[in-house]
Amino acid sequence: TVGVTGAFANDDIMKNQKDPANWALQLGNYAGQRYSTLDQITRDNVKNLRPVWQFSTGVLRGHEGGPIVVGDTMYISTPFPNTVYALDLNDNGRIKWKYEPRQDSSVIPVMCCDTVTRGVAVAGNKLFLGQADNTLVALDTETGKVLWSAKNGDASKGETLTAAPLVVKDKVYVGISGGEFGVRGHLTAYDINSGKMVWRAFSTGPDKDVMIDPQKTMMLGKPIGEPDLGIKTWPADQWKIGGGTTWGWYTYDPELNLIYYGTGNPGTWNPAQRAVDKDRAKSDNKWSMTIFARDADTGQAKWVFQKTPFDEWDYDGVNENILADVTIGGAKRKALINFDRNGFAYTIDRTNGELLVAQKYDPSVNWASEIDMKTGRPKVNDKYSTFAQGEDHNTTGVCPAALGSKDQQPASYSPESGLLYVPTNHICMDYEPFKVEYSAGQPYVGATLSMYPAPDSHGGMGNFIAWDPSAGKIVWSKPERFAVWSGALSTKGGVGFYGTLEGYLKAFDLKDGKDLYNFKTSSGIIGNVNTYMHKGKQYIAVLSGVGGWAGIGLAAGLTGEQEGLGAVGAHKALGEYTQLGGTLTVFALPDNQ
Amino acid sequence: TVGVTGAFANDDIMKNQKDPANWALQLGNYAGQRYSTLDQITRDNVKNLRPVWQFSTGVLRGHEGGPIVVGDTMYISTPFPNTVYALDLNDNGRIKWKYEPRQDSSVIPVMCCDTVTRGVAVAGNKLFLGQADNTLVALDTETGKVLWSAKNGDASKGETLTAAPLVVKDKVYVGISGGEFGVRGHLTAYDINSGKMVWRAFSTGPDKDVMIDPQKTMMLGKPIGEPDLGIKTWPADQWKIGGGTTWGWYTYDPELNLIYYGTGNPGTWNPAQRAVDKDRAKSDNKWSMTIFARDADTGQAKWVFQKTPFDEWDYDGVNENILADVTIGGAKRKALINFDRNGFAYTIDRTNGELLVAQKYDPSVNWASEIDMKTGRPKVNDKYSTFAQGEDHNTTGVCPAALGSKDQQPASYSPESGLLYVPTNHICMDYEPFKVEYSAGQPYVGATLSMYPAPDSHGGMGNFIAWDPSAGKIVWSKPERFAVWSGALSTKGGVGFYGTLEGYLKAFDLKDGKDLYNFKTSSGIIGNVNTYMHKGKQYIAVLSGVGGWAGIGLAAGLTGEQEGLGAVGAHKALGEYTQLGGTLTVFALPDNQ
Ligand SMILES: O=C(O)c1cc(C(=O)O)c2c(n1)C(=O)C(=O)c1cc(C(=O)O)[nH]c1-2
Ligand SMILES: O=C(O)c1cc(C(=O)O)c2c(n1)C(=O)C(=O)c1cc(C(=O)O)[nH]c1-2
């Protein structure tokens, strides 16, 4: 790749993402579609796929994200200590350079959901890595040398960094984690050349901090109007420790010049502590659980959409916002599709935030009956309201579990089929909130959870589904034994891919989901399946390495049913199928095919 | 596998090793041949080989040994903490049970050459594991439950356990490591049913301890005659801290009822401290560096053969003794073939210890010009004698290096071709001995080493060779970039296998060594390639996970040229090719072949 000397790195990214030989961004392209026009691997020949080379990262625990490929080089990163490798595709992954940050391991205990990172960003001659310890580094893509580094947070307050950065023009956007530690979330833009902070948009607090203009920033098709909802929808100063972290995925529309991302759960998990006058109606806890569309340059909010006002279930609203043009009621809409943790899939007009479709993408979802299309609000079922049921009461049978109907695992959208291919969870929970006091750097959770497979279903804890974003309907659904925690890929060859927690890489027919190929890799897959072309041949690449929140029991050696914020019990059988690992596997067809 | 209730577990092993569907012993059979009569994978179709499933062991660092397969179950073990897995071959390696010993990690610093184990032994319904901390455990093969455990040594004295146990009849033989800590070596037999020690044969000291009868135990075809050479060939009490550890491989001839194994280097590495009257002639340091043939029942030594009397280079004599019937001078001989660290390959009459052939198997060997066929003694070249050159003098250009022309990596013998297929090292060294004092549990080395590729050669540090044990000649030789630290396999299909430190599994034509297939696995291979059949299909299985002495730089994070007892410098480029790992890979042909 040719170094970019001017200010605009995304000329380079735009070029790279157009050439399907590359896998230029974590989500495949700025639209977050995880789709490739490569078509050498087809529904007919994919059965002959096989690993062609592998690379152990030298690190165990959860490997999220996936390989970035630009030209002859592949870039991968590992869980803590966040080692980055540049691998030579001309020599079976020989190491061109290795960057191994020296990070204080004291950050590990404040990472809520395993020591994951969701990968690096490459733009021109720079590679960007968000380290667990909140250091954002820019590395030279040729040498791995540090060009600059910036401190984006403070681990002693429970702040960490797991999200993949996104580069647009001369800025790199970085999120923050720590919703379970009372961290006040923000998205921050740094200058890619100097490493200087350009702006920081908080998720809670006064409009100025949130970079909202109540007269201009849209909500449901019109200006918000009322100022400082980021303060008023919270009791007293609760917004200062109110979460809304930004540890998910970021997408970008170059024409609209808007970036999209979501904010996480409000803190604490005990809703009573976040209620204004004990009144749910007054307590949206804005702007937690909100999709933000921001001007990519100024950071100013163009529109907002809060999916789960006053969260009572830890349904972080951070999942990827996939940009696609979708026909709804006969009209082509510039849409954004979001599979929220809360179990509803939203199709939204990405120009202005207007809600177009909102339907359950898992039939077991029961905490709300539907989304009111006028207000965008869920109709909450009091039986599953942990606020209505009250503190120190165990609300049982809530679906989905806190892991959501989908968590960090990104979906894929095929512009050909117009469908989304979605790795989902099929897990329910019991949730008992309790009063908790805030102390900086200490867990600020305030609920005890148990999780288990969705009752009266197939017994498994996952489904892999195809979704129609216009109709808001499941097209087909494949049951899986465990939560599907790996990002999906769809390709022009008519074949899609995802990984399973047992470690299988699976290829399926986009038409009907039929299994076309599977291979049991060394460890559970929570990474995202990517594809690229090298010397005229198509490859599939994925990281294995079980972990993440679903695999936290294995990753952190926890065995108590309610440990790992409640996730351990449900997935305890995982240890019969797989163990910790950390390996990249590259697949291809035999040469004669 | 059917449980053995009677005393003789080797009825079961004998049966298992005869069925090529199993890989019943670490070395394939009692004769240590690492040969299989399976022939589905041939020199013609092996190019279509590919991984079919994998299993991450959850442990990093050097993975030696290999999978044992009996019936539908595969058993593997990991480096420290020596986790054992029973994997279900009917379900892509689903975990039937896992045994995870709780070992004190204080043993790690006293393991000289990485935290390796060379694998488990299975006999009847029992599995035997030698833990790093010197605990020998017997596990139930069905459940993984501990049946009994015995303490074979004391880590606080520098004693550890890395060797694979061997079971014969009602006994399991266990070795000990710690030659670099002044440990006095021994081989110990335990009753497989009770775990009680039956006998212990020391490598040094009085004949009684060594279980030698000078009137009966043969040396070079006649009785030793002189008593207590295990004392007399040492200065004062030096034999008590004199090494001769037994960390290599053990083989067995059921007809002769003899077991064979070798002893390691004498301690310290500074020869001056082991010289009687400063006279090499008086200082054999017996019975270090010695092949022992012992009665499998009583432990009594039938014959002995010391390969490197008065070692001055750390040429541990522990390499595997492969039993094969070989034609020499027109006569069929019951032979034993040993590729010693010292660079000579010995063909010996295994009935009585008579020396038949002794030739260099690496042309670079220079410390001795030849082996005197009468005395069995090397003719040492004073230029490379670290004793002649003296304490605090750096003797340079010694070939082979301390790692030997071959180290723990076991060779393979094909009864069809009559040849041995040998993974070898091609490394030389500088060696500077210095005075060292013994202190229990502290390193007792007394020499500083540097290692580098054999000069004036192909630049690489390994060769894979075919060897004619009758003629004592290299038949063909393939250069390798790094030491070949993986055990070889030969098969009736005309194809052989080994792994490389870069991580390649390689298949070669037994005829000429030509590369027929290679696959870059996740991490460097120092495990041994095994084969088995399941449901009528032949599989190849190997552990990846770089480490061992050659890979100690990567494994232990050492970077100083002379660290890792001198091994780090030579292999520092390894980090460009591979990183730490720990994965089992199972290969097979596509179903239509
Ligand atoms: O609130 C937060 O700041 C925060 C951070 C993270 C993270 O950074 O990994 C997760 C979550 N929350 C979370 O709710 C969650 O379900 C989750 C899953 C995972 C994962 O990697 O598997 N991380 C996180
Ligand atoms: O003297 C000893 O007791 C002893 C033990 C070991 C071991 O147990 O691994 C090795 C050695 N020596 C040794 O000399 C050596 O070359 C060696 C290589 C390895 C290995 O696993 O790669 N172990 C050992």
Contact B56/A93, CB-based, under 8 Å? no
Mean pLDDT over B86-102 rounds to 97
**What mean pLDDT is reported for chain B?**
96
The residue to mutate among A247, A319, A341, A445, having the most atoms of ligand 1 within 8 angstroms of its beta carbon, is A247
Distance from CA of B556 to the nearest CA of A (A): 12
Where does the pLDDT of residue A14 fall: very low under 50, low under 70, confident under 90, or very high at 90 and above?
confident
B445-480 confidence digits (pLDDT tens): 999 999 999 999 999 999 999 999 999 999 999 999
A488 pLDDT more than 80? yes
The residue from B314, B340, B407, B468 that is catalytic is B314
pLDDT at B592: 74
- The two tokens of residue A557 are 């050696």
Question: Is the full-model pTM beyond 0.90?
Answer: yes
The residue to mutate among A311, A341, A549, having the most atoms of ligand 1 within 8 angstroms of its beta carbon, is A549
The protein residue with its alpha carbon nearest to ligand 1, atom 1, reads A179
- CB-defined contacts A:B, below 8 A: 99
From start to end of B194-262, where are the E strands? 197-202, 218-219, 222-223, 251-253, 258-262
Q: What is the 3-state secondary structure (H, E, C) of A93-137?
A: CEEEEEECCCCCHHHHHHCECECCCCCCEEECCEEEEECCCCEEE
pLDDT at A251: 98
Report how far apart the first and last C-alpha atoms of chain B are (Å, whole number). 29
Closest partner residue to A583 (CB to CB) among B50, B53, B583 is: B583
For residue B86, the chain A residue with the least C-alpha distance is A576
Q: Which of B520, B521, B518, B500 is nearest to B509 (CA)?
A: B518
Test the B interface: residue of A504, A520, A525 with most B CBs within 10 Å:
A520
- The two tokens of residue A18 are 């157009």
pLDDT at A6: 47
What are residue A510's phi and psi, to 5 degrees? Answer: -60, -30
**How far is ligand 2, taken at its centre, from the CA of residue B84, in Å?**
21
A354-373 confidence digits (pLDDT tens): 999 999 999 999 999 999 99
Q: How far apart are CA B498 and CA B486, in angstroms?
A: 6
pLDDT at B2: 38
Half-sphere exposure of B435 (CA within 13 A, CB side): 0
pLDDT at A593: 60
Catalytic residue annotation of A: 314
- Ligand index nearest the alpha carbon of residue B567: 2
pLDDT at A13: 85
Let me know: does A85 contact A76? Beta carbons within 8 Å. yes
Q: What is the 3-state secondary structure (H, E, C) of A161-213?
A: CCCCCEEECCEEEECCECHHHCCECEEEEEECCCCCEEEEEECCCCHHHHCCC
Share of chain A above pLDDT 90, in %: 96
In ligand 2, the atom with minimum distance to the C-alpha of B526 is: 22
Q: How far apart are CA A124 and CA A3, in angstroms?
A: 5
- Where residue A58 falls (left for φ over 0; alpha for ψ -120 to 50; beta otherwise) is left
- Strand order through the sheet with A126-130: A121-123, A126-130, A135-140, A146-151
B98 pLDDT more than 60? yes
Angle at B338 between CA B336 and CA B340, to 5 degrees: 160
Closest partner residue to B577 (CB to CB) among A95, A577, A580 is: A95
Let me know: does B214 contact B223? Beta carbons within 8 Å. yes
Closest partner residue to A55 (CB to CB) among B522, B576, B585 is: B522
Closest partner residue to B581 (CB to CB) among A51, A576, A583 is: A583
Q: How far apart are CA B504 and CA B552, in angstroms?
A: 18
Where does the pLDDT of residue B5 fall: very low under 50, low under 70, confident under 90, or very high at 90 and above?
very low
pLDDT at B593: 59
In total, chain A counts a number of residues equal to 593
Residues in chain A with CB shorter than 8 Å from the CB of B575 are: 95, 98
Let me know: does A274 contact A293? Beta carbons within 8 Å. no
Angle at B123 between CA B121 and CA B129, to 5 degrees: 30
B349 pLDDT more than 60? yes
For residue B544, the chain A residue with the least C-alpha distance is A56
- Ligand index nearest the alpha carbon of residue B80: 2
Test the A interface: residue of B579, B585, B589 with most A CBs within 10 Å:
B579
B4 pLDDT more than 80? no
Mean pLDDT over A189-195 rounds to 97
**How far is ligand 1, taken at its centre, from the CA of residue A163, in Å?**
9
Mean pLDDT over A420-437 rounds to 98
pLDDT at B8: 66
Residues with CB under 6 A from ligand 1: A 64, 112-114, 116, 162, 177-180, 245, 247, 264-265, 316, 403, 407-408, 548-549
Distance from CA of B61 to the nearest CA of A (A): 9
A93-139 confidence digits (pLDDT tens): 999 999 999 999 999 999 999 999 999 999 999 999 999 999 999 99
Question: Would you say the CB of residue B116 lies under 6 angstroms from ligand 2?
Answer: yes
- Beta-sheet pairing, A583-588 with A537-544: antiparallel
A379-414 confidence digits (pLDDT tens): 999 999 999 999 999 999 999 999 999 999 999 999
Mean pLDDT over A207-220 rounds to 98
Distance from CA of B57 to the nearest CA of A (A): 6
Where does the pLDDT of residue A517 fall: very low under 50, low under 70, confident under 90, or very high at 90 and above?
very high
- DSSP assignments along B4-27, one per residue: P-SS-HHHHHHHHHHSTT-B-STT
Contact A583/B503, CB-based, under 8 Å? no
**How far is ligand 2, taken at its centre, from the CA of residue A410, in Å?**
47
Closest partner residue to B58 (CB to CB) among A53, A503, A580 is: A580
Contact A56/B523, CB-based, under 8 Å? yes
Where does the pLDDT of residue B80 fall: very low under 50, low under 70, confident under 90, or very high at 90 and above?
very high
CA dihedral A329, A330, A333, A337 (to 10 degrees): 50
